Structure 1
Amino acid sequence: MNGHNSDLPESDLSSASSGIRVLLVDDQAFIGKMLGRMLESEEDIELHHFQSAREALKMADEISPTVILQDLVMPEIDGLNMVHYFRVKKHTQHTPLIVLSAQENPQVKAEAFALGANDYMVKPPDKIELIARIRYHSQAYMNRLQRDDAHRRLEEQTIKLTQTNEQLLEQIAERRRIESALRESKKKVEKEREAAESANKKVMDSIRYAKMIQSSLLPNPDNIKTFLSESFFIWMPRDIVGGDFIFTDIFEQGFIIAVLDCTGHGVPGAFMTMIASFGLKKIISGEGWHDPAQILKRLSFLVKTTLQQDTDYALSDDGLDAAVCFVEPDESRLTFAGAKLPLICNYDGEVKVIKGDRKSIGYKKSSLKFNFTNHTISINKGMSFYMFSDGFVDQLGGQRERRFGTRRLANLIRKNTHLPFDTQRDILIQAFNTWQEYGENERQDDVTVVGFGF
């Protein structure tokens, strides 16, 4: 490689003495395994394989590769774009990059070289040729780093020697300027601190007020107990406001009860709950839909069109998961439909997990033609039902730093379903907090659980 750059990061400079490190970015696992077998006999070569383009970009600084093997076809980010991204990153702008392609294409090859690629190989590569190119590019890169580092050190020493006399003469004057600047800086910092505290207070006051508004969207447990006396509700946003919410509506034929988990948490998630809440009110009260599968389909349409995610120019890609139950007491019937979220049914000591459809709603890729599935259950005395967002079951913790998991939650429900619902609520919260605190983990997401019985 030609040219001199004395501004290379320190992590790159250390690469010159720590062996050859290959960063392979290819979404196909078997390619990683194939290249791993080719390189396993080369003791001085480390292979780091990432199937995710974003993860590779994120970890590149930590790995400090001496050569990058970039697949041309990636599901997240186009391979040619990846070449561009590696070149604009400070830590990889000079790292040798070999494009891997399934075919020999002069046009693509020309584009790759124009974007900054150093080489081009057709998959699967020949072992001998691959090792030779990795060694050639890596050695050239490490030589460059060593040369640039030596040049930089020489320049630094020269500059230091030249500046020593000038610095000695300026020290007294500089000390006086510093003392004066420190006095002024202290005054300025104090004013900025006061301004920051005032601004932060205004922001926090606004968010707390937003929590009050969001809380007003949640059903009042006392009102719910007038038509569903055996029930409990857990709503624990990760931040002051959150992306989870509970929805209920009652009418002559029965009532709707639902749990919704919107994209994200905090303020963005709270905005999504407003859209989804008003959408449900429009669908159920305004349009008269009571069928859970139809409610989910209609809500997907409203969220998608409200955010203009049915257009090519939409900036957002947000949506939600949901579990919806329509209960008809006179018919002793419950109808459930889910978008990713499940329903747990407990009866006579047996716990059954009824999974929702593996489709979220409202996102750009959410199909408006998809028909969600209704599950109808005959209600018997002693039955209880539970809906929850993924914040409960996805929480990491415990002795082995694992997810709490749906199975563990179902077992916890089965053991305690004979207890009053308020007691069940306390047991679930205690189990969640113990699981989280044992692993010393922060809460990862908003947590919502609804339980009710007959």
Structure 2
Amino acid sequence: MSFDLNQDGKLTPRGKLRKPSAASVLLGELRHELRTPLNAIIGYSELLLEDAEEGSLLRLELDGIYATGQDLLRIVNSTLDAARIDATSAQPKLQNFGETLYQDTYTLLQDILAHTTQAQAMAAADARPDIEKIHQSAEYLASLIQTLFSLSAFDDDLELADIVAQSRNAPTVERFVADRQATSGEFYGQILVVDDNALNRDLLTLRLAQQRYAVVTARNGREALELVAGGAFDLILLDIMMPELDGFETLRRLKENVISRDIPVIMISAVDEIDSVVRCIEMGAEDYLPKPFSLPLLRARVGTCFEKKRLRDHEKAYLRHVARLTEAAAAVEVGTFSETLLAEVAIRNDELGRLARVFQEMAAEIKAREAVLEMKIRERTAEVEAQRNALAASNTRILDSIRYALRIQQAMLPSLDHIASHVPELFTLYRAKDIVSGDFYWFHTFDDELILAVADCTGHGVPGSLMSIVGMNGLNQIVLQNHVTQPAEILKQLHAHIRAVLKQDRHGGQFEFQLDSMDIGVCHVLKGERRLMFAGARRPLFIVADDGQLAVIPGNRLSVGGRQHARERAFEAFEAPLDANATYYLTTDGFADQPDANGEKFGTPRFRDLLTTLAGQPLEMQRTTLEKQFDQLLTFGPQRDDVTVLGFRA
């Protein structure tokens, strides 16, 4: 093969002239621009060395300047070798050159600036102007490289004039990024980078800024704690080895402070500090980032932390809003309800927000009607008949409101048609004592598995119905969102959910909802495997075979929610084969607690005997028999409690 010498002085295969890329042209111009201050550094140091006294401290400083200048020249020539760049087939990325130059020259330039400062102090008056020229050249060289480093991270299409123009008053990398973000729009969150090494801070600042994070830096733990006290941060990247206040002590103080303890922290560590990283994880750190920094790893770990924080914030907001609804119900009861109490919850775009809006409307209607009633009472105090009419109207309004609450509760219960599409043989006997009920039943299915639950909440009427909403929302979160299917684990998490929503972990006995709890039985039916899992909190599972044989699987003797004496509340799981010739019953205690003709409770033993008499009957007939029996009990006295009986075959 024969070659030609092209117009740029490069040999190329004959007939194939290689045109230099725009990036290689820029890098060539930049190399020429960088040599200008380098030539000044090397040239002035040579001149000064000729007059420096042999063995003097000044000469040692000048030798350092000269040698470092030569090292810098080699780095610039090697990194920005236009011939090598053009020889590659890939399009060069300016960011790679900018970052390489910045990392490789940072310490050397700091050394030259330190040498010139020392040399100024010990040089004669006539030598100081030349030393000052070296110092200014080093500063200009540093600003050129820093500007390339910063600009190339955001723009791969640069001109030398842009770099030179911006380098004449080059800001710090952090300030450059802040200015850039101020004009570029929104960012995903704010990160605090804590590292005593300026180069590490600059590299992290620029890499995080490329991912649209706002970055603030601190040189040590003390600065970091001051910044956290005065600002809102979504994540902290914290170095371990630092002066003044190291990463361990800084992390400890962050986690002890109520303002900062929930901010996720990623530790910055070298590979040989892995034992220290483990210690930090035990102290509450989320993760760690090894040095040197890997961009994909940085992106993954920071992104994971932000996602975890988002989910935690969402869960906290949900629990806070459920608690606010409970507080609103109490406020309505004592007449202190205000629309602002639920303003934050009402803007949610989910079922909880819809419930809050309905609650606001109901409370506003009650308040408005009560105001009208009070006015009429004041006007017609002397008219007994008018008072009687006003009282009747008030009762009607209250009943209307409670019936409206009943519509909400019924809407939240699972549709019987939906259940029947998955469990054809099933019935429910569901009777509220006071229009709305503190009992509820719950159902969910996936594949060939079913989860059924029947619960009896503390109280009845409006308070019991609100408690039932807390229970249904808890089951939705645990089963539908967290995908928990084991009955014992469902009860354990439901216990924690109720205590969190009602804030029952507060110390002292004055909190109003400290004793509220729930008795519940949960069945997990695995139709394909023909087995059933059960766990109960003060509620059993009754199993009646077609031949009348009765089996009872008892529940634990503790409710879910309420006072917590032991460290944990564990529930026992029971397993039984799924018998196609048996009927399974989940019930509350309302039926058994209803008085008979003698004023005594119907009782659990008689209720079990009643179930055995239904053995083998179609489930619809069983429901009719139970209703007739309960209606007969009601002839002896008013209904004492909410009643729920759920029977099924699978």
Bin the TM-score by the shorter chain.
0.5 to 0.7
Equivalent positions of 1:120-269 (< 5 A) are: 187-269=382-464
Which range moved further: 216-225 or 326-335? Answer: 216-225
Of 490, 507, 528, the residue aligned with 1:295 is 490
Matches within 5 A, 1:88-127: none
The 3-state SS of whatever aligns with 1:324 is strand
What pairs up with 1:43-82 in 2 under 5 angstroms?
A: none
2:631 maps to 1:433: yes
Q: Per the alignment, in what secondary structure is the counterpart of residue 456 of structure 2?
A: strand
CA distance in structure 2 between the aligned counterparts of 1:453 and 1:324, rounded to whole angstroms:
15
Mapping of 1:364-443 within 5 angstroms? Answer: 364-365=563-564, 367=566, 369-398=568-597, 400-437=598-635, 440-443=636-639
- Offset, 1:303: 0.4
Q: Check the 8 A contact 2:534/2:575 in 1, yes or no.
A: yes
Whole-angstrom CA distance in 2 between matches of 1:353 and 1:404: 18
Matches within 5 A, 1:228-377: 228-312=423-507, 314-316=511-513, 317-347=515-545, 348-365=547-564, 367=566, 369-377=568-576
Q: Runs ≥4 in structure 1, deviation > 4 angstroms? A: 184-187
Q: Measure the CA separation in 2 of the matches of 1:368 and 1:219.
A: 34
The change in CA–CA distance for 1:367 and 1:299 in structure 2 (over 3 A counts) is farther
- Superposition RMSD in Å: 1.7
Counterpart of 1:241 in 2: which secondary structure? coil
> For residues 362 and 369 of structure 1, what CA distance do their matches in structure 2 show?
12
Q: Helix, strand or coil: the match of 1:445? A: coil
* Structure 1 residues 248 and 203, CA gap change in structure 2 (3 angstroms): same
Describe the shift of the 1:306–1:367 C-alpha distance in structure 2 as closer, same or farther (beyond 3 A).
farther
Alignment deviations for residues 334-380 of structure 1 (CA, whole Å, 9 cap, x no partner): 10100001110112421111110000110023656121011101112
Secondary structure of 2:490's counterpart equals helix
1:198 shift after superposition: 2.9
Given residue 451 of structure 1, which amino acid in structure 2 is its aligned partner?
A: G
Q: How many residues align?
A: 268
- Quote the sequence identity (%): 37
Letter in 2 for 1:357: N
Q: Which moved more, 1:249-258 or 1:283-292?
A: 249-258
In 2, Cα distance between equivalents of 1:366 and 1:199: 44
Q: Which amino acid aligns with 2:544?
A: N
- Report the TM-score, using the length of structure 2 for normalisation: 0.40
**Does the CA contact (< 8 Å) of 1:300 and 1:366 recur in 2?**
no
CA distance in 2, matches of 1:409, 1:315: 34
Is 1:446 matched up with 2:642?
yes
Normalised TM-score (structure 1): 0.57
2:550 partner SS: strand
Aligned counterparts of 1:366 and 1:387: Cα–Cα separation in 2: 28
Distance 1:226 1:379 in 2: 19
Contact 2:492 2:571 in 1 (8 A): yes
Using the alignment, how far apart are the partners of 1:300 and 1:247 within structure 2?
A: 16
Q: Which moved more, 1:406-415 or 1:259-268?
A: 406-415
Q: Look up the SS of the partner of 1:396 in the other structure.
A: coil
Whole-Å Cα distance in 2 between the matches of residues 367 and 435 of structure 1? 40
Distance 1:307 1:366, change over 3 A: farther
Distance 2:381 2:408 in 1: 40
What CA deviation, in whole Å up to 9, does each residue of 1:104-153 have, x standing for no partner? xxxxxxxxxxxxxxxxxxxxxxxxxxxxxxxxxxxxxxxxxxxxxxxxxx
Deviations 1:151-186 (A, max 9, x none): xxxxxxxxxxxxxxxxxxxxxxxxxxxxxxxxx977
Name the structure where helix makes up a greater proportion of residues.
2
SS in 1 for 2:560: coil
CA-to-aligned-CA distance 1:382-411 (integer Å, 9 cap, x gap): 12100110111111113x332212221222
| Residue identity opposite 1:350 in structure 2 | Q
Indicate if the aligned counterparts of 2:381 and 2:387 stay in contact, CA closer than 8 A.
Answer: no
Q: Deviations over 1:273-327 (max 9, x none)?
A: 0101000000000111000000001001000110001112532120110000000
Matches within 5 A, 1:27-46: none
For the residues of structure 2 that align with 1:245 and 1:367, how far apart are their CA atoms? 28
CA distance in 1, matches of 2:494, 2:593: 25
Which structure: larger Rg? 2
Given that residues 443 and 453 in structure 2 are in contact (C-alpha distance below 8 angstroms), is that contact kept between their aligned partners in structure 1?
yes
Report SS of the residue matched to 2:399.
helix
Q: Which runs of 5+ in 2 are unaligned?
A: 1-378
Structure 1: tracts of 5 or more residues without a match = 1-183
C-alpha displacement at 1:187, in angstroms? 4.3
Q: Which amino acid aligns with 2:647?
A: G
Q: 1:205 to 1:432 in 2, by over 3 A?
A: same
Matched letter for residue 268 of structure 1: P
Q: CA deviation at 1:418?
A: 1.2
Q: Read off the aligned partner of 2:614 and give its amino acid letter.
A: N
Q: Which moved more, 1:284-293 or 1:221-230?
A: 221-230
One-letter amino acid matched to 1:334:
L
The answer to whether the Cα contact below 8 Å between 2:445 and 2:451 also exists between their aligned partners in 1 is: yes
The 2-side partners of 1:419 and 1:353 are apart by 19
Answer yes or no: is the 8 Å Cα contact 1:300–1:368 preserved in 2: no
User: Within 2, Cα distance between the matches of 1:377 and 1:275?
Assistant: 30
Secondary structure, aligned partner of 2:452 = strand
Q: Secondary structure at 1:235's aligned position in 2?
A: strand
SS at match of 1:385: strand
Equivalent-residue separation in structure 1 for 2:587 and 2:646 (angstroms): 6
Q: CA distance change for structure 1 residues 252 and 189 in 2, over 3 Å: closer, same or farther?
A: same
Assess, with a 3 A threshold, how the Cα gap between structure 1 residues 253 and 294 changes in structure 2: closer, same or farther. Answer: farther
Distance 1:323 1:381 in 2: 21
**Cα offset for 1:225?**
1.1
Change beyond 3 A, Cα 1:361–1:442? same
Q: Distance in 2 between matches of 1:452 and 1:364?
A: 33
* Conserved? CA contact 1:297–1:368, under 8 Å: no
Return the offset for 1:211.
0.4
Three-state SS of the structure 2 residue aligned to 1:209 is: helix
AA partner of residue 645 (structure 2): V
Residue 275 of structure 1 aligns to which amino acid in structure 2? V
Flag the structure with higher strand content. Answer: 1
Q: Deviations over 1:238-277 (max 9, x none)?
A: 0111100000011125011000000011111011001010
